Amino acid sequence: MNSNPRNSLDYQGAQLEQLSDVSLLEVMQEKTDEETSTKYVLIKHDFYSSDSDHGRELLSGFLDGLSESSFSSVVVYLIDKGTKLLDETNPLHDSMLRLIEKSEMVIAAADSISFYEVTYDSNSKIVEQSSRSIAEDIIYLPGLFVLE
């Protein structure tokens, strides 16, 4: 048994308390207002990773997780093949619709929508912008999540 008093370690937002030489207890900190405020997400592909079947399962889980999160709102940027998520023929369209419902706004690259011939039902939350305009936006965003 460790005779030293309890040690606390700050580890990536979670607090780890050493109770003995062989056990650690992870204590999750309570979320602050800042952590539950607007989050910004950049989605570049309509699947995650390099394997499209498994990648779609992973992306579906990611989209559903964002839709069900405690964040007060989410702003989603779609560029390149990520714009294909808006097309109703995409297998992840339903997951994307749930995320759009949760989102404050979805900003899609107009040039990618045109290039991939994406068609989607008009929705006041979906805004098309040029890639250049999106680049100018995301440069200044704090804590942008990028899905590669």
Assign a CATH topology to domain 39-147. Answer: Hypothetical Protein Ychn; Chain: A, (3.40.1260)
List, for residues 57-103, the tens digit of each pLDDT value: 888 898 999 888 887 788 999 999 999 999 999 999 999 999 999 89
- The residue ranges of every structural domain in the chain are 1-30, 39-147
b/e per residue 132-146 (b: at least 16 CB within 10 A): eebeebeeeeeeeee
CA atoms within a 13 Å half-sphere pointing along the CA-CB vector of 120? 25
Q: pTM for the whole thing?
A: 0.72
pLDDT digits 0-9 by tens, 102-136: 899 999 999 999 999 999 988 889 999 999 999 99
